[in-house]
Structure 1
Amino acid sequence: MVVPLRAIPSSREGFYAINNQFQANGPKGFMEFKMLENEDMYVRIDFPGVPRDGVRVFLDQSKKAVCIFADAPKEHKYDYSERNYGTSTGLVCKCCEISGFTSFMSDGVLRLLLTKSNITPQRSSCISFLAGPDFREDLRGNGPHKFPHGTDPNDPKLTGRILMLHPCVNYGSEMAYESKQLQNGGLYVRVDMPGVPKENFTVAVMNGRVRVTGEAPAISHDSSGRFYTGDVAMLSTPFDIPIRKIKIIAKNGVIRLIIPPV
């Protein structure tokens, strides 16, 4: 028989990133915001399971925000359900509007580049994007701009013992790990590792445990790449099984395993 494993922190501080128990380094959080030197805003949002053509981004009529909807299909009959995501990001000021954007979806990650323009000539351009909890009023107006401005990819508040639910999920699983015990004693496992290309996943069986590793390279304006690793299942016997007997499905920043009984 094969059994799932509970999420247990590997240190006293807790999980390195409470957005994903398997993340071992790199920028934390489901989202990353970064103000660029030209005052464009770069946004990275994790949408694990969403294919390239599964995301819709459009400019709100107010020209103050972009709205984002994404669909991750049910890839295997053992998936609990499909997943639907929805969120928005944009401006909080009155002096600017979004003048354009580009978007790119790959390996379960959406990357946006938002451009804004000043609609109040008597005021200088501000940098008041909806860029996370560190926005301050003194970043508006005429003062000198300090870069980079945005979310802190190493925020200590994103390390802890309690995992976060994905805030953008409207329907479906909000967690990075899902398992289903099969009638034959095997196990189905779904693991989110957003940003990892399918060729960068590794599966190993050692000492009766099935471990998954994934490397997500830095793309565009990402602060850095991300590395994931963790045990996802345990065999009921100390004898390891050959990797070739595990069915592996890796796509869109998600790896699925069908582990046979032992």
Structure 2
Amino acid sequence: MKAEGFYAINNEFLMNGPKGFQEYKMLENDIMFVRMDFPGVPEDGVTVTLDPCKKFVSVSAHVPKVHKHDLSHRKYLTFSGPGCECCEISGFTYQMAHGVLRLHLSKTNILDPQRPSCRYPRGGPHRLHYNRDPYHPALSGPVLMPHPNVCEGSTMAYESKQLQNGGLYVRLDMPGVPKDNFNVSVSSGRVKVTGQAPAVSHDSGGRFYSGDVAMLSAPVDVPSRGIKTIIKNGCIRLIIPTV
């Protein structure tokens, strides 16, 4: 944690890379790129549907309970589109991997088919949420925001539960991190998790997560192999035994 607060208002463990739950970018050939963080969602757990008006797509996704100690399942629901009157969506593709959805939306200018679709509707890029800098200082702060697209279940990137045997259960969201890019270590009783998420497709950059997620009952160094880990779809779950 930095002196001025969390590095990112969406995830207290995000140390470097683009912040925010979503990232938007206008590409060449009238294509709009959207990255959405849906931690926990499997590759086949998302549905993208084009609305009959062709102005937006609806996105729904489901995270099943992976472990009995999960507080609940999670469901996501959101919408995305060009947000202007002159264009409609002519097609889309998407990929879901490691808890991140990446959309490519093709646009067509319906007011003048001979012209390309607009790149800056609604008065220019300064008024567009999807032209906002994913490194903008406003995306850092001392208060964490709940995930705006969660309609059921936990909205935060961290949850923990004290177990009856004295151990601790922890669930961490680190969207974009492949299974082999997580690392768990224990030093002076502090359980630390790091994760490296590479840049994929048109992401503005890779992301690095790091943080102490739990304290053991004694300030000792113990082998991390004593901690059971479950890693799926940009989430890591830890079962930390008593010392």
What TM bracket, shorter-length normalisation?
over 0.9
| Other-structure match for 1:127 | 119
Q: State how far apart, in whole Å, the 2-side matches of 1:80 and 1:254 are.
A: 14
Alignment of 1:12-31 (within 5 A): 12-31=3-22
Q: Kindly indicate whether residue 104 of structure 2 is the aligned counterpart of residue 113 of structure 1.
A: yes
Q: 2:123 aligns with which of 137, 149, 158?
A: 137
Deviation at 1:121, TM superposition (A): 1.9
Q: State how far apart, in whole Å, the 1-side matches of 2:50 and 2:194 are.
A: 37
| Identical-residue share of aligned pairs (%) | 64
Which runs of no fewer than 5 residues in structure 1 stay unpaired? 1-9, 129-134, 140-148
Alignment of 1:201-216 (within 5 A): 201-216=182-197
Alignment of 1:160-199 (within 5 A): 160-199=141-180
- 33-42 or 118-127: bigger deviation: 118-127
Q: Residues 138 and 79 of structure 1: is their aligned pair in 2 closer, same or farther, counting only changes over 3 Å?
A: closer
Secondary structure (helix, strand or coil) at the match of 2:159 reads: strand
- The question of whether the paired residues in 1 share the 8 Å contact of 2:159 and 2:170 is answered with yes
Q: 2:34 aligns with which of 19, 43, 64?
A: 43
| Other-structure match for 1:150 | 131
- The question of whether the paired residues in 1 share the 8 Å contact of 2:30 and 2:108 is answered with no
Deviation at 1:32, TM superposition (A): 0.1
Q: 2:82 aligns with which of 58, 67, 91?
A: 91
Deviation at 1:109, TM superposition (A): 0.2
Q: State how far apart, in whole Å, the 1-side matches of 2:7 and 2:155 are.
A: 18
AA paired with 2:214? A
Q: State how far apart, in whole Å, the 2-side matches of 1:225 and 1:71 are.
A: 25
Q: State how far apart, in whole Å, the 2-side matches of 1:28 and 1:254 are.
A: 17
Q: Residues 184 and 205 of structure 1: is their aligned pair in 2 closer, same or farther, counting only changes over 3 Å?
A: same
- The question of whether the paired residues in 2 share the 8 Å contact of 1:95 and 1:123 is answered with no
TM-score (norm 2): 0.94
List per-residue Cα deviations over 1:155-202 (Å, max 9, x = no partner).
110010000110000000000000000011100000000000010000
Q: State how far apart, in whole Å, the 2-side matches of 1:183 and 1:240 are.
A: 23
Q: Residues 200 and 122 of structure 1: is their aligned pair in 2 closer, same or farther, counting only changes over 3 Å?
A: closer
| Other-structure match for 1:32 | 23
AA paired with 1:26? G
Q: State how far apart, in whole Å, the 2-side matches of 1:101 and 1:201 are.
A: 31
Q: State how far apart, in whole Å, the 2-side matches of 1:122 and 1:194 are.
A: 38
Runs of 4+ in 1 over 3 A off after TM superposition: none
Q: Residues 115 and 122 of structure 1: is their aligned pair in 2 closer, same or farther, counting only changes over 3 Å?
A: closer
Deviation at 1:238, TM superposition (A): 1.8
TM-score (norm 1): 0.88
Secondary structure (helix, strand or coil) at the match of 2:180 reads: helix
- The question of whether the paired residues in 2 share the 8 Å contact of 1:204 and 1:243 is answered with yes
Secondary structure (helix, strand or coil) at the match of 2:239 reads: strand
Q: Kindly indicate whether residue 210 of structure 2 is the aligned counterpart of residue 219 of structure 1.
A: no
